[in-house]
Amino acid sequence: MTQPAPFGRLLWHGATLPCQTEPMSVIENSKLTVVGAGAVGSSVAYAALIRGSARHIALYDIATEKVEAEVLDLAHGTQFTGTSDIIGGSDVSVAEGSHVVVITAGAKQRPGQTRTELAGVNANILKSMLPQLLEVAPNAIYVIVTNPCDVLTVLAQEATGLPPERIFASGTVLDTSRLRWLLGRRAGVSTASVHAYIVGEHGDTEFPLWSTTTIGTVPILDFDPIDGDPMTVDELDHIAVDVRDAAYKVIQGKGATNYAIGLSSARIVEAILSDEHSVMPVSTVLHDFHGLSGVALSVPSIVSASGAVPIRETQFSPNELGLLRRSADALRDVAASLRD
Ligand SMILES: NC(=O)c1ccc[n+]([C@@H]2O[C@H](COP(=O)([O-])OP(=O)(O)OC[C@H]3O[C@@H](n4cnc5c(N)ncnc54)[C@H](O)[C@@H]3O)[C@@H](O)[C@H]2O)c1
């Protein structure tokens, strides 16, 4: 059996890590609550259950019949998962004592509708829900998935007064996975061997950090795939558009995107609960990040038991910095219109 090292911590899955921070980051019997049992919320719960992302998982939704049915269906499969268990219902008390709350509740994007068009409806849902959640899970880290996730993060951070590291959006974690998949296929390497980030808004103004993208250690434009020619700037531009528009394509075909966001969210939860200090492009309210403040944008950030902290030293080419500012301007305008 694994013994905790004298200055280590026993994590929920029994692994030990050297303790470099205060023991506050120890999370035993970790609890995840997923708010919203729709296409996205049930997929987050399903991914977290299968991956063992948390010891206890709760699903909360105001639609009683729906949430109870989803919980039953998920629970019926737990013979075949690890030790995680699942409860849920339409009483917010199911979220009691959560370490992480992932919010997916809200209206979803309809075919042809932009994420920003959803903003007003979902901002009101979030505003009414957060005080209740904070009452039962005052120490949780809040991850917002509901769209438009960047704008909702700014409004939610302002409304709750939580430190920015404790309330952030899944942001472009999903978009980054889409980018790495496309590049990996084109380059003939595994997705995990692609080092690339989509940053900015989770939406129409998002963009890849091409200046630092590599396959292994090789800059993207220098990489020579075994089956095919090196990529060109034109091709990379097309790939960026494909990533940006990926959600529209999936929604057109099946009405929602759910599996990939389920997995992306489960990974964020794991980085928090296992105090991983993993680098992920989540969206936090920025403070003097390359001159940007008071707006939530995805940039590479360190995700741990303390939450998410943007990496200030992240390098941008002058063009990329211009695009980041464009993203910030677009989001600032939407947030301002919702504050009025
Ligand atoms: N950030 C991302 O990368 C990403 C990816 C995919 C989807 N999304 C977003 O996730 C959200 C959910 O999408 P979906 O397809 O699951 O929608 P859905 O309509 O299937 O589910 C939404 C659920 O929220 C519930 N809900 C509404 N108000 C509530 C409240 N006050 N309290 C608790 N539950 C409430 C509804 O009953 C419903 O079950 C959308 O905003 C969508 O745009 C984000």
Phi then psi dihedrals of residue 192, to 5 deg: -70, -15
Q: DSSP string of 275-322? A: T--EEE--EEE-SSBTTB-S-EEE--EEEETTEEEE-TT----HHHHH
The pLDDT, as a whole number, for residue 31 is 98
Copy the structure tokens of residue 260. 């990939």
76 is catalytic: no
Alpha carbons 59 and 144: distance in angstroms, whole number: 15
CA of 145, closest atom in ligand 1: 1
Closest-CA residue, ligand 1 atom 24, reads: 105
DSSP 8-state assignment for residue 211: G
- The active-site residue, picked from 13, 76, 195, 202, is 202
User: Is the CB of 61 within 6 Å of ligand 1?
Assistant: yes
Closest-CA residue, ligand 1 atom 5, reads: 261
Question: Length of the chain in residues, anyone?
Answer: 340
For residue range 146-182, list pLDDT tens digits in order. 999 999 999 999 999 999 999 999 999 999 999 999 9
The pLDDT, as a whole number, for residue 340 is 64
79 confidence band (pLDDT: 50, 70, 90): very high
Q: Is the pLDDT of residue 95 over 90?
A: yes
142 confidence band (pLDDT: 50, 70, 90): very high
* Separation of CA 194 and ligand 1 centre (Å): 30
The pLDDT, as a whole number, for residue 21 is 41
The pLDDT, as a whole number, for residue 1 is 32
Residue type, 224: D
Alpha carbons 10 and 16: distance in angstroms, whole number: 5
* Separation of CA 188 and ligand 1 centre (Å): 35
Q: Is the pLDDT of residue 252 over 50?
A: yes
* Separation of CA 32 and ligand 1 centre (Å): 17
117 confidence band (pLDDT: 50, 70, 90): confident
338 confidence band (pLDDT: 50, 70, 90): confident
Q: Which residue has the higher pLDDT, 210 or 118?
A: 210
Range 313-316 contact pairs with CB under 8 angstroms and sequence separation of 24 or more: 314/209, 315/211, 315/212, 316/209, 316/211, 316/290
Closest-CA residue, ligand 1 atom 33, reads: 61
User: Is the CB of 174 within 6 Å of ligand 1?
Assistant: yes
Residue type, 203: G
Closest-CA residue, ligand 1 atom 38, reads: 38
From 108, 127, 150, mutation site for ligand 1 pocket: most ligand atoms within 8 A of C-beta: 108
Copy the structure tokens of residue 132. 């209740």
CA of 170, closest atom in ligand 1: 1
Q: Express as a percent the part of the chain with pLDDT over 70.
A: 91
User: Is the CB of 109 within 6 Å of ligand 1?
Assistant: yes
Span 184-213, average pLDDT: 97
- Burial classification of residue 295, based on how many CB atoms lie within 10 Å of its CB (0-12 exposed, 13-18 middle, 19 or more buried): buried
Q: Are strands 218-219 and 214-215 parallel, antiparallel or unpaired?
A: antiparallel
Alpha carbons 52 and 50: distance in angstroms, whole number: 6
For residue range 318-327, list pLDDT tens digits in order. 999 999 999 9
CA of 129, closest atom in ligand 1: 31
Span 34-48, average pLDDT: 98
115 confidence band (pLDDT: 50, 70, 90): low
Closest CA to 17 of 29, 9, 27, 25: 9
Span 84-106, average pLDDT: 97
The pLDDT, as a whole number, for residue 243 is 97
Q: Is the pLDDT of residue 219 over 50?
A: yes
pTM above 0.85, yes or no: yes
Q: What mean pLDDT value characterizes the chain?
A: 91
Q: Is the pLDDT of residue 271 over 60?
A: yes
User: Is the CB of 250 within 6 Å of ligand 1?
Assistant: no
210 confidence band (pLDDT: 50, 70, 90): very high
